[in-house]
């Protein structure tokens, strides 16, 4: 996992999980397009990609997929996730996207 780049990780995971992350918007387009709510989400895949905000103040987001895990500092992504999680977010720290 240490050699896995963020771009390749997302590319690989995205093949299997599609819209699992940030409402289906490509990460590169973060901030450029508003995500849309999905009324009837697709069935849960066997191995979902999970992204969670580990530390909102430090802008740390952890991506988990398969047996791999990687944590990035990505203020733009964290800001965007928090914006869309805001109505549902509780307490300090992180949340799960």
- Least Å distance, CB 47 to other proteins, is 14
Rounded to a whole number of angstroms, the distance between the first and last alpha carbons of the chain is 21
Contact 55, 40 (CB under 8 A): no
Pinpoint the alpha helices (H) of the chain: 6-17, 75-85
CB-nearer residue toward other proteins: 52 or 72: 52
CB-nearer residue toward other proteins: 29 or 46: 46
- Least Å distance, CB 39 to other proteins, is 16
Distances (CA, A) of 45 to 13, 15, 48, 61, 82: 11, 11, 5, 21, 24
Does the footprint of other proteins cover residue 70 (CB under 8 A)? no
- Least Å distance, CB 32 to other proteins, is 27
Interface with other proteins in residues 11-50 (CB under 8 A) = 50
> Which residues would be at the binding site for other proteins (CB under 8 A)?
50, 52, 95-96
């Amino acid at each position: 996992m240490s050699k896995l780049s963020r771009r390749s990780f997302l590319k690989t995971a995205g093949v299997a999980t599609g819209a699992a992350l940030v409402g289906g918007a490509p990460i590169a387009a973060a901030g450029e397009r508003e995500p849309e709510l999905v009324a009837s989400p697709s069935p849960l895949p066997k191995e979902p990609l999970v992204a969670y905000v580990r530390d909102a103040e430090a802008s740390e987001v952890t991506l988990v997929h398969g047996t791999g895990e990687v944590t990035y500092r990505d203020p733009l992504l964290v800001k965007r996730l928090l914006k869309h999680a805001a109505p549902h977010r509780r307490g300090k720290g992180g949340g799960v996207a």
